[in-house]
Structure 1
Amino acid sequence: MPIISAGLTYFLWVFGAGFALAFIRIPFLVPAFGVRTAELMEVVVMLVFIAWTSRRLVRRHPALSRQGRLAAGGLALACLVAAELGVAYALDPRSIAAYLASRDPVSGSAYLASLVLFALAPAAWPGRADTIDAA
């Protein structure tokens, strides 16, 4: 149960931040810098937030092993992808393939890399369970 709680909490924090940033990116950054640059700027901010949030997750769930934190990251990733595709479909009903094809190749690739980092980040931080296991 702690893995599910940690994964859902992690997902909600990061999804909420990304959702909030869209309200800055779309009306302000895209007209000023273009889609690619605006999305790349958002990825940088999100990576910082992911680092902060994943570290906070480890501190709030000190008993989770590295494998548990990796499972929480995987659960959070699955929720994030489902939410992203759900919101995209709600805003513009089209196939997943059409949605993915519409993404900018550069910023879309950076986004995919950030998703991998998002999933792995909780396991990257040392936790109390890791020091107990090592002893």
Structure 2
Amino acid sequence: MSVIKPAVSYFFWVFLCGFVLGVVREVWMLQWLSQRNAELMEMPVILFVDWLSALYCVVRPSKKRRGSHFLLVGLLALILMLGFELTVVLGLRGLTFSAYVESRDVVSGGVYVLSLMLFMLMPWLVFAMNQRNQS
């Protein structure tokens, strides 16, 4: 239970921010930018939200945990993120999984996969940085 609550909280805030940014990108930014550039501009904001969410939802409330706890939190949050991406987001956009993969830009799609890996690792990275700063 100690992994579920922080993982859901971490996932929720990052997903909410990503959802809002996605709407802004699709409705407003694509008028001036290509899909690739709009998605790439979004990534630093998402990584910042990953960091803030990991810090405030995961690491600060559970200072007495070990590093493996934060890896599990990140893994569960990633599973939730992928589950929502593959059901809710694809459902709203009316895409199948194969159509979604085919529609992804090679560059921004690769950066997106990298951002998902950083999303998964961020609770552990923030924990490790905090441990190092306290030593």
Class of the TM-score when normalised by the shorter of the 2 chains: 0.7 to 0.9
Which 10-residue stretch deviates more, 82-91 or 28-37? 82-91
Which 10-residue stretch deviates more, 77-86 or 58-67? 58-67
Contact 2:51 2:126 in 1 (8 A): no
- In the alignment, the residues of structure 2 paired with residue 126 and residue 22 of structure 1 have an alpha-carbon distance, to the nearest angstrom, of 28
Residue in structure 2 matched with residue 45 of structure 1 by the alignment? 45
The runs of at least 4 aligned residues of structure 1 exceeding 4 Å deviation read none
CA drift of 1:66 comes to 0.8
Structure 1-normalised TM-score?
A: 0.88
CA drift of 1:86 comes to 1.0
Contact 2:70 2:127 in 1 (8 A): no
Gaps of 5+ in 2: none
Alignment of 1:23-42 (within 5 A): 23-42=23-42
Which 10-residue stretch deviates more, 46-55 or 69-78? 46-55
One-letter identity of the residue aligned with 1:21: L
Contact 1:14 1:53 in 2 (8 A): yes
CA drift of 1:22 comes to 1.6
- In the alignment, the residues of structure 2 paired with residue 102 and residue 43 of structure 1 have an alpha-carbon distance, to the nearest angstrom, of 18
Residue in structure 1 matched with residue 105 of structure 2 by the alignment? 104
CA drift of 1:17 comes to 0.7
**Secondary structure in 2 aligned to 1:80?**
helix
CA drift of 1:23 comes to 2.2
- In the alignment, the residues of structure 2 paired with residue 14 and residue 28 of structure 1 have an alpha-carbon distance, to the nearest angstrom, of 21
Structure 2-normalised TM-score?
A: 0.88
Is it true that 1:66 corresponds to 2:37 in the alignment? no
CA drift of 1:49 comes to 0.9
CA drift of 1:91 comes to 2.2
